[in-house]
Amino acid sequence: MPDPKCFISYSWDSFSHKKWIRFLAEKLHQNEVYTYLDQWDVSPGDQLPKFMETSIRESDFVLLVCTNNFASKADAGQGGVGYEKNIVTGEIYSGSAPDTKFVALLREGEPKSSLPSYLKSKAYLDFRKDDIFDQNFEELLRHIYRKPKYVRPPLGRKPQLDAVPKGKNATTRTAGQSKERTLSSDGTVDFVQTEHIEAVTSQLSLVGLEGGKIVRLYWAADSPPLTHKFGRELADPAAIAGRALYSEGWNERLDDGRLFWGPYEALPSPGWYTAAFRIRVNENAALRPIIRIDINTNSMRSLNVSKDLTGVTFDAPNTYQVFLLNFEYKGANDVEYRVRKFDASLEVWVDYVAVMSMFHKPPEEKEAGDQGLSTFNKPRGT
């Protein structure tokens, strides 16, 4: 957008007030907001009505600095403040300018007495406290440059409101709640009306995970439970729940390629478990590691299992695959599951991490270096 222009309408209350007005205009100029100000632009003999009319008409924003004296003059139609009120209300009434062009700045007094009648219904910026001037000035600049501090997030998915089978207790769950977990009497997870659980179970059976029970299920595009993330949560038709965590850049703050890590949650009981990571990438030609999946505890002493995935580990680009890590949980610690990448340009989508209990220790891997990788997802050609 071209450099915005502002006009400041105010009353000459005192020398200190005029000085503050000039300070405000200087700050606006320092931030590339061209400001019309009588203290700069009007010389003896100039036509004040012409200056006011032209400046208001040509400005993108009109800042109305409200005080008790300003309100009194505007309501009575006196002096320059009264004349400017006529111009402003004329633009508002005719619809020749949007309401957002006219911004009330409350400088002193209370809104009831310092806002003139034609501004009482408008939201205002509070500039009464000089010690938080910078905070309020930033809010003003955001309005001028149309860069709001908070933006509306995208709409979520429709809730799945299935009918409750006869004899069951009714439970209302929104889509965002559909993945909440409750512990059953044996300490495992009871997925009451959990969306997509059958699809996940079916996928895990394809990679040899049959007979166990899913005790934890974390959707990468949901917050919580995964505590830390780097990337964007995007709609993804290929993901089981329709959304995935997507990363196309680098975590500059950590500088280690982490996409997510968490949620620091204990498992139901000591024993052997398998964690299933469902991931896809945009290229699968590299012979070097491009992704690392790992599991550890908050102390990193009782558990630390990892697996590096090369590009050729993936059967095809942009196709989800499930990768497995077997681990023994000895209890007393919270567990985190992590995915990180080694290449900043690599595009990665993570669908979920599912944790399944096992009834016995898994057999030793036959090939060194393939621990935790399912035979379903071995490198091509093996």
Q: What is the pTM of this model?
A: 0.46
Residue pair 275/327 in contact by the 8 Å Cβ criterion? yes
End-to-end C-alpha distance for the chain, whole angstroms: 58
Other residues' Cβ atoms within 10 Å of the Cβ of residue 28 = 23
Which pLDDT value is given to residue 92? 86
Q: For 112, phi and psi rounded to 5 degrees?
A: -60, -35
Q: Which residues of the chain have pLDDT under 70?
A: 1, 160-198, 203, 205-212, 222-230, 249-258, 298-303, 332, 359-382
Which pLDDT value is given to residue 368? 32
Which pLDDT value is given to residue 155? 76
Q: Where in the sequence of the chain do the CATH 2.60.120.260 domains occur?
A: 180-377
Which pLDDT value is given to residue 261? 75
Which pLDDT value is given to residue 173? 36
Which pLDDT value is given to residue 160? 66
Which pLDDT value is given to residue 171? 38
Q: Where in the sequence of the chain do the CATH 3.40.50.10140 domains occur?
A: 5-144
Residues 143, 103: Cα–Cα separation, whole Å: 9
Q: Between vectors from CA 145 to CA 143 and to CA 148, what angle results, nearest 5°?
A: 50
Question: How would CATH label the architecture of 5-144?
Answer: 3-Layer(aba) Sandwich (3.40)
Residues 321, 281: Cα–Cα separation, whole Å: 9
DSSP 272-286: EEEEEEEEEES----
pLDDT tens figures, 179-234: 333 333 333 333 333 456 667 777 676 666 666 678 888 887 765 455 566 677 88
CATH code for residues 180-377: 2.60.120.260
